[in-house]
Amino acid sequence: MAARGTHGMDCRSSGSPYTMTQQTKRFDMRRRCIHSPEPAPTRGCPPPTPGLASSWRRFVIPFVLVLIACHPKVLLAADPWQKAPGSTPGAASADIGSPPGRPFQPTALRSESLRGQILPRDHTTLATELPARILRIHVAEGGRFKAGETLVTLDCGIQQAQLRKARAARTAAEKIASVNAKLAEMNSMGTLEVATSAAEAAKARAEESLWAATVDKCSLAAPFPGRVAEQKGREHQYLQAGQPVLDILDDSRLEVEFIAPSSWLSWIKPGLEFVLHADETGMEHPARIIRLGARVDPVSQSIKITGQLTGGTDGLLVGMSGRIAITPPHASGLDHTTPGPSTPP
């Protein structure tokens, strides 16, 4: 009886060579065609059939090369520094957003894309100096207030009780010191007792002053007139010392802040006028530069510029932004607001 081997061969009892099955023959043929270094015809292997990827490359790649060779505008679009045929001097500078003769500036610093933001001159965050519960917030978010007006009242029952205790102790100490002083005049009290009673009276007065100052911190007053920008605490909320309660700002004096190229420092000075085109209002708001930044950013080669709105501020809110239009002095000979091809003299 014949026995079947592990590789698909029939073991004949007659002693003839092993006979492989048809499946094993096809497997050996495929392995010989793939791994043999000999050419395919010498191995008896069929030539490979071209696939979809090779056919696609065969037709598309020559077409793209011909398209690039026949249309030079494609090359000009790939190279922003190359001038197109028939372009006037300075056209390349206009394409990259910088005036003729000026170094290239990043997109965020191009004069036609300068953006300004409206900021308040005075703004701060009011925080409690005592660990206490908020008893009442007198001005809601967005409400207006006057300078010195009480904005927040804290629950300071314990501090007020300590103040009353300190006042009573101060009254008692002062009376004792007064009696001892009269007894000393009649030689009925020693000098040491008189000095000690006077020191106790001074100590009691200092204790009263301490608690009086603590009670004064139980209410937060407005340092300037303005509006409540954000309410960070709620009534009946317990706050730790230093925890913010209100963000306030003065919207009567608004400023405009923007970032300009540092190369403008040769002509941009305080007092120079510019215009803010606010996106939210769609109107032009005149302003003038009041101060320059203290340092230049070496990475972006930019400097912070701050201006003050000179016209009416009705309808303007903090946080609004818009496009900056600024014209350099006539002596510079350049218009940085609308850079473009240079005009021959």
Which residues have CB under 8 Å from 23's CB, separation 6+? Answer: 8
Tens digit of each residue's pLDDT, the chain (345 residues): 444 444 444 444 444 444 455 556 655 666 665 555 555 555 555 555 555 555 666 667 777 776 666 655 544 444 444 444 444 444 333 343 444 444 444 444 455 578 999 999 999 999 999 999 999 999 999 999 999 999 999 999 999 999 999 999 999 999 999 888 888 888 888 888 889 989 999 999 999 999 999 999 999 999 999 999 999 999 999 999 999 999 999 988 899 999 999 988 988 999 999 999 998 888 899 999 999 999 999 998 999 999 999 887 788 899 999 999 988 775 444 444 434 333 333
CA distance readout (Å), 329 to 138, 269, 332, 333: 50, 10, 6, 8
Phi, psi of 47 (to 5 degrees): -65, 150
Torsion of CA 27, 29, 31, 35, to 10 degrees: 180
Q: 10 has which bridge partners?
A: 4, 19
Residue/partner pairs of 130-133 with CB below 8 Å, 24 or more apart: 130/154, 130/156, 130/159, 130/214, 130/217, 130/218, 130/241, 131/238, 131/239, 131/240, 131/241, 132/156, 132/218, 132/238, 132/239, 133/236, 133/237, 133/238, 133/239
pLDDT of residue 74: 47
pLDDT of residue 341: 36
- One-letter amino acid at 180 equals N
pLDDT of residue 50: 52
Short-list 219, 220, 221, 226, CA closest to 122: 226
Alpha-carbon span 141 to 320, nearest angstrom: 18
pLDDT of residue 215: 92
Coil/strand/helix, residue 49: coil
Domains and CATH numbers, the chain: 3-37 (no CATH), 102-121+253-332 (2.40.30.170), 124-248 (2.40.50.100)
pTM, to two decimals? 0.57
Cβ 259 vs Cβ 305: under 8 Å: yes
Query: Distance between alpha carbon 325 and the CA centroid of its chain, in Å?
Result: 24
Cβ 271 vs Cβ 289: under 8 Å: yes
- One-letter amino acid at 101 equals G
Cβ 236 vs Cβ 275: under 8 Å: no
